């Protein structure tokens, strides 16, 4: 039986409540707690965190945005948070804090959306735990990569939910986030054990004030689907400078992307997961295309998806442009590591991780020539 997916309808803004199971109920003690989802923190208010925090604030929720980029926090404090792109044009007065100001918070949070880079997961989860309401405040893993178990190891599995982000956004100046997608579903939120719970439904209703949100009973299948999508685009963009749409329109990069995605799907399946569609394309079609079956049709679908975008750059390219450390080890590198455990070959992911690591942090200059060795790995039939 396929996993159930449940719609969470928009609540109309403001703080909403639920009668659901807290920690005790989640652990099977049969205790039901009545509480309100009142206070929300966004820990890591980059492009995605700012779009989410800004739109939730605009909808009337009690949100605190926390970030470690001083200029960005100061801009939000002094001017407000500017949102643009497919969300429209807004200047939202928000509550913004520097990391060091979090100690001034007087009341704990009902939910903390952990939106930091993957390499910051453990310390950020530990920080979140200190400001989480007892006994049933929750941390929502709101990151790229597959970090849910790492968060759970710090804050407790019973206090952890995962959220797969479908929307895309960019941030190129302090205090200004741009949403760049037109997707019909913005988030897939779920429990780590696949249950449909009142708290998952309530969190999904809250997130629907940003973009329509679904509760999934197949979180890991959604995670591996998004990981495959990230592997198909992020490192290619970082190496080449191509934007989210451009890399799906150029034949060479697009065919390398298909190989990267197919490897991720094979690895996820080897670990027992049912991989959900990738940007509307069935996972098996990506694998088939990588092996030369139905390649033209998959390429046409990727090109069509690219044309629906309004520009935008993958997060890894944004990191390269800002001379920051990238998440490649937690995206393509994760596929390589998990493939090794199961004996699944991942030559394209191995190669692209090595290509990124060939440049010290902050010294990668994007160029299409950086993709030449990867394109050369394609079969003769697939080389453009």
* Domain architecture of the chain: domains with CATH: 5-217 (3.40.50.720), 222-376 (1.10.1040.10)
Euclidean distance between CA atoms 125 and 118, whole angstroms:
11
**Where is average pLDDT lowest: 51-55, 67-71, 151-155, 179-183?**
179-183
Q: Are 214 and 48 in contact (CB under 8 A)?
A: no
Q: Kindly report, residue by residue over 125-166, the tens digit of the pLDDT.
A: 999 999 999 999 999 999 999 999 999 999 999 999 999 999
Banded model confidence at residue 123, pLDDT cuts 50, 70, 90: very high
* pTM (two decimals): 0.89
Q: What is the spatial order of strands in the sheet that 81-85 belongs to?
A: 90-92, 81-85, 176-179, 169-173
According to DSSP, the β-strands at 169-173 and 213-216 are unpaired
Strand (E) or helix (H) holding 41: strand 39-43
Q: Are 79 and 87 in contact (CB under 8 A)?
A: no
CA 186-190-195 angle, 5° bins: 145
Banded model confidence at residue 310, pLDDT cuts 50, 70, 90: low
According to DSSP, the β-strands at 160-165 and 138-141 are parallel
According to DSSP, the β-strands at 176-179 and 81-85 are parallel
314, pLDDT greater than 60:
yes
Euclidean distance between CA atoms 247 and 234, whole angstroms:
10
Q: What is residue 36's predicted lDDT score, i.e. its pLDDT?
A: 60
Q: Are 153 and 126 in contact (CB under 8 A)?
A: no
The pLDDT of 166-179, averaged and rounded, is 96
20, pLDDT greater than 80:
no
């Amino acid at each position: 039986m396929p996993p159930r997916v449940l719609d969470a309808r928009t609540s109309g803004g403001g703080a909403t409540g639920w009668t659901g199971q807290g920690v005790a109920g989640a652990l099977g003690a049969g205790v039901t707690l009545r509480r309100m989802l009142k206070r929300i923190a966004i820990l890591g208010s980059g492009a995605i965190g700012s779009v989410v925090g800004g739109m939730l604030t605009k909808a009337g929720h009690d949100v605190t945005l926390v970030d470690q980029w001083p200029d960005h926090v100061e801009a939000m404090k002094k001017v407000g948070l500017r949102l643009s792109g497919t969300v429209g044009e807004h200047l939202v007065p928000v509550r913004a804090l520097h990391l060091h100001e979090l100690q001034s918070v007087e009341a704990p949070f009902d939910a903390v959306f952990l939106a930091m880079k993957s390499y910051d997961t453990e310390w950020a989860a530990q920080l979140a735990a200190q400001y989480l309401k007892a006994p049933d405040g929750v941390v929502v893993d709101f990151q790229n990569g597959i970090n849910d178990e790492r968060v759970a190891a710090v804050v407790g599995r019973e206090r952890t939910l995962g959220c797969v982000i479908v929307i895309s956004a960019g941030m190129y100046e302090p205090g200004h986030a741009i949403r760049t997608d037109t997707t019909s579903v913005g988030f897939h939120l779920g429990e780590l054990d696949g249950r449909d719970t009142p708290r998952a439904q309530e969190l999904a209703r809250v997130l629907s004030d940003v973009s329509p949100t679904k509760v999934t009973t197949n979180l890991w299948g959604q995670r591996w689907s998004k990981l495959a999508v990230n592997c198909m685009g992020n490192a290619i963009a970082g190496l080449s400078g191509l934007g989210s749409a451009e890399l799906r329109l150029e034949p060479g990069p697009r065919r390398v992307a298909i190989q990267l995605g197919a490897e991720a799907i094979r690895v996820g399946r080897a670990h027992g997961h049912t991989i959900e569609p990738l940007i509307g394309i069935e996972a098996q079609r990506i694998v088939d295309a990588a092996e030369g079956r139905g390649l033209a049709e998959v390429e046409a679908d990727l090109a069509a998806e690219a044309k629906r975008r309004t520009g935008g750059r993958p997060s890894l390219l944004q990191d390269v442009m800002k001379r920051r450390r990238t998440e490649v080890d937690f995206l393509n590198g994760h596929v390589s590591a998990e493939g090794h455990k199961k004996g699944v070959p991942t030559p394209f992911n191995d190669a692209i991780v090595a290509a990124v690591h060939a440049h010290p942090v902050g010294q990668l200059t994007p160029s299409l020539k950086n993709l030449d060795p990867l394109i050369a790995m394609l079969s003769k039939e697939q080389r453009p």
